[in-house]
Amino acid sequence: MQLPRPHRLVIALALALSLPAFANPVVNETAHKTRLAQREAGGPRPLGADSALLSQHEAEEAWRKGNQALDKGQWAEADAAFNLAAKLAPKAYEPLLGLADVQLRRSNVAAAEKLVQKALALAPRSAEVLTTAGRLAAAQGKAADAERQFQQATKLDTKYTPALLDLGELQLSQGKAKEAAASFRMASQADPQHPAAAFGLGRALVAQRDLAGALKAFEQCSGLASRNPLPLLASAEIHAAQRNWDKAVELARQAESLDPALARSKLLLLDLQAGAGRWPAAQQDYERFAAQSKGEDSAALHLKWGNLMEAQGKTAEAMAAYRKASEADAKLAGAWNNMAWLAAQQQKDLGSALEWARKAVELEPRNFGFLDTLAAVQLASGDAEAALRSIQQAQKLAPQLPYLKYRQGLVLEKLGQAAQAAQAYQESLKSGAKFDGMEDARKRLAALGKAGGKT
């Protein structure tokens, strides 16, 4: 099964907007900087208001250094600075959150959780601490706990934007688009200048198929974050869905000009040019982008071009692009998989194809599509028994997928097990869901029936 790498916009785009990122929870640098700026302007109380004046000053300075070290990725220095701040201001929760952030970046979730619990004990009614606790819960897959923490934070402070944004992200990730839109609207009301609120609202409205509303939200986000290409790309995708190719390409090119290194712009532009049938322009863009890209970005670009070429039936060009993708990034499983799939379909270079398919499965052992490709290569190589084992492994990962039942039928038919093959074809068609090979499954089932196989 060929599985092209997706390039759609995802929740992690919040990171690129320098906004609180739900995908990377616990204390975030933006929150630190905002809090510090407010304090300098005479806002919230300083760290450790219970301490002596000297300790307050020293704790504040240590906390600043901790945040600066975090910004630079210097975990040991950050840990030492936050520990000093916590010692000098024992009743301040902020150093504990800083320490939790360090521990999470070190993948020590248990230690981070203990520190957050200490912060909660010090400030149980702090919207910031509750939001941090919610992010940690979300990182651990405890969605219900995370939502409860975020909701509590928003009740304590109805205008605390980070909690509203994180709540919206959580709801969106759970498919609660309507609730997410409401949370993002509240965030926008609390801070009309916050681009993440508009961006999140746009994504929530896309999920509700309100493309006009989503486009308006993305345009608002672009106005608030004029140097960020991501809202432009989101708008371009909406125009593409409406087959407004000229506008979509225009927006994607604007995004590319804002950040020439952003691979997502390049991938989308290729899709747009192909969608519009502008193959000479697509070829020019591909060659230009290929000359600019390196490493993983280069691999993703070649993989995309391979997908487009294969869709056009240009298998030689597709195979060449997949080879370039695998050379640029040997860990890009999709490139190995697609080379193996093409070889199996063409009945060529099956020895190499078997190596490629195994490489893809080794890199992503829980990808049922890659196991299906391995089965296809094994079947093409004459090893139907091995193909059946690979298909059965794939079915364990996706037991309800009709396509895999169809593929199982092909293997069983090759093994001479007509009755079992007919049953597999029947099961593949039972759900009524469309899949590649559906018509072939019908024809094969009918042929087996005429030949006397059980149906």
> Looking at the domain that runs over 61-150, which CATH code has it been given?
1.25.40.10
Q: In one letter, which amino acid is 103? A: Q
Condensed to tens digits (0 to 9), the pLDDT of residues 258-278 reads 999 999 999 999 999 999 999
State how far Cα 421 lies from the chain centre. 37
Measured between alpha carbons, how far is 56 from 62 in angstroms, rounded to an integer?
10
State how far Cα 106 lies from the chain centre. 21
Of residues 39 and 378, more confidence is placed in: 378
> Looking at the domain that runs over 158-223, which CATH code has it been given?
1.25.40.10
Which residues, 6+ apart, have CB-to-CB distance to 126 below 8 Å?
A: 93, 119, 156
Confidence at 257, pLDDT banded by 50, 70, 90 = very high
Give 237-241's long-range contacts (Cβ < 8 A, gap of 24+): 237/8, 237/9, 237/268, 238/206, 238/211, 238/214, 239/215, 240/271, 240/272, 240/275, 241/211
**Residues of CATH 1.25.40.10 domain(s) within the chain?**
61-150, 158-223
Residue 12 has a pLDDT of: 28
Structure tokens at 379: 């079947």
Among the residue ranges 18-22, 139-143, 372-376, 434-438, the one predicted with the least confidence is 18-22
Evaluate the CA torsion angle 185, 187, 191, 194 in order and state its sign: negative
Residue 15 has a pLDDT of: 30
Residue 22 burial by Cβ neighbours in a 10 Å radius (0-12, 13-18, 19+): buried
Measured between alpha carbons, how far is 241 from 239 in angstroms, rounded to an integer?
5
Confidence at 121, pLDDT banded by 50, 70, 90 = very high
Provide the residue count of the chain: 455
Measured between alpha carbons, how far is 192 from 185 in angstroms, rounded to an integer?
9
Residue 117 has a pLDDT of: 94
